[in-house]
A and B are shown apart, each in its own frame.
Chain A
Amino acid sequence: MTYEVVNSKVVRVQVSQANPVLARRGAMLGYSGQVAFRPVSGAAQGIGGMVGTMMAGESNKMMVAEGQGSVLYGFRGLYVTVIDLTGDSLVVEADRLLAHDANLQTGVEMVGQGGGRSAVRGAMTGQGLFTTRVSGNGTVSVLSHGGTFPIQLNGETVGVDPQAYVAHTGALQVDLKASVGMRDLIGRGSGEAFQLHVSGHGTVYVQASEEKF
């Protein structure tokens, strides 16, 4: 196990020659051993799939940790959830990625790609216009405000507050449903006019807060 949960806010990752780790810039708390950090830029060569991540761009600068040692990752006291991927994929807002194995493939779903729906989803969750798809075999750690809890879905549908949505794995369909009534238009609505309706087979991760970051 290369990802050790130190506490609810910090994760310790074993870095080796065979297993470099990509992480959000500024998220390294400390390390021991011979580890070198390198900022990764859009034109960077090497580590597969990274280019896609970098296209997410300005708001999501990453760096790669290479060498041999263990690194502590955490970010501004936000809670950390560790998710193992075995061939399936995780869809997450790019801002929330704390660290993941560099050999995972990352792709960005942007405006106009994958239909307008994913763009709207990104916009509505307040995390920018990008959602990132991470896939392959490896481990991902994801940031949240107040911790996450998983909701298992086996064909049913669950409604999630867009601000509380963190990520999902599996074959899930995510739709943004608006129920804007007259009261919302005049600003006296319940504040829950938009909901994400998640259906299918998989797991959706929800944070215990509506706070954005």
Chain B
Amino acid sequence: MIDGIETPTWDASSLPADDNVNPYAFSIALAGEWFVSKGAMIAYYGNVEFAGVSQYASRASWVAARFSSPLYASEWVVAAGQGKVIVADRGYDVNSYDLDEGNLTIKQTNLLGFQTSLELKQSIVPGFVTLIGTGKFLASSNGPVIFVEPPFRADPDALLGWADCPSPSQHYDHHWMAQSFMAGIQGMFGRESGEERQYDFTGAGTVLMQSSEQLRVDGALMKLVESQTNLLDAQSAGALGHRLVQRSQQQ
């Protein structure tokens, strides 16, 4: 026995069922299937099998209907069986949310898992996914989640997601732009900080915010941007390629 440890020692039966173990870890009481983000599982008890989404879909045809995003299929697994699965993400706060006949859009890298009664679709906003239906899902945030109501303008890096309101439009701060143009050295004025560009939310609903995070590499994002370049004709695509090569050489 180790002395001096005051936190409880968990076992398979004492672990919470569908509840937080602490602010940074969540215990799923698994009886059936859950979609879980690759790498989010930190421990499990019981008879649980983890299979890639596409692999599992070949056995269970309903998966394709629930997970309609081939882009992210390689980033997700299906946990199937009976037991307790504990998920966590970089020491971020983990929260569970219940969706009731609703729809919610969330940053893909912050979504850790969801029940198979929910349906996942890709949002039009790159890097975000939309959950539709009724069920529970888990999401991480840097610090506790802040809920705000539209009208609201959010910094793209700090935006966690939104529920029940129309997709945002982009807002450019004209003060900021004017200053930058006048100075004529736009690049120096922190364009990279993105302060002049915000997501503008209107209508009724809820916006979810977190403290801005350093971006985690979203493997699917590159594929997503690449697929968008199909909109370009050959000449513009070549010009874009040039610019990207220049950028990678500068860094």
A binds B: yes
Q: Does B247 count as interface, using CB distance less than 8 angstroms?
A: no
Q: Does B195 count as interface, using CB distance less than 8 angstroms?
A: yes
Per the CB 8 Å criterion, the residue count for chain A at the interface is: 26
Q: Which of A1-55 contact B (CB under 8 A)?
A: 6-10, 25-32, 36-39, 41
CA distance A10 to B209 in the complex (A): 10
**Residue from the list B152, B209, B213 in contact with A76, Cβ < 8 A:** B213
Q: Are A10 and B143 in contact (CB under 8 A)?
A: yes
Write the chain B residue with the least CB distance to A23. B195
CB-defined interface of A159-175 with B at 8 Å, one 1/0 digit per residue?
00000000000000000
Q: Are A37 and B195 in contact (CB under 8 A)?
A: yes
Q: Are B143 and A30 in contact (CB under 8 A)?
A: no
Q: Which of A33-90 contact B (CB under 8 A)?
A: 36-39, 41, 61, 63, 72, 74-78
Q: Does B27 count as interface, using CB distance less than 8 angstroms?
A: no
CB of A69, distance to nearest CB on chain B (Å): 9
**Given A36-B173, A39-B190, A72-B158, A29-B143 contact (CB < 8 Å):** no
CB of A101, distance to nearest CB on chain B (Å): 19
Q: Does B142 count as interface, using CB distance less than 8 angstroms?
A: yes
Binds A, one of B63-71, B76-84, B176-184: B176-184
Q: A28-B195, A77-B210 are in contact. List 15 more A-B contacts (CB 8 A).
A: A10-B209, A27-B212, A30-B154, A30-B155, A30-B198, A37-B173, A37-B175, A38-B179, A39-B180, A41-B183, A72-B146, A72-B148, A74-B212, A77-B142, A77-B212
CA distance A25 to B176 in the complex (A): 12
CB-defined interface of B156-199 with A at 8 Å, one 1/0 digit per residue?
00110000000000000111100110010000011001111010
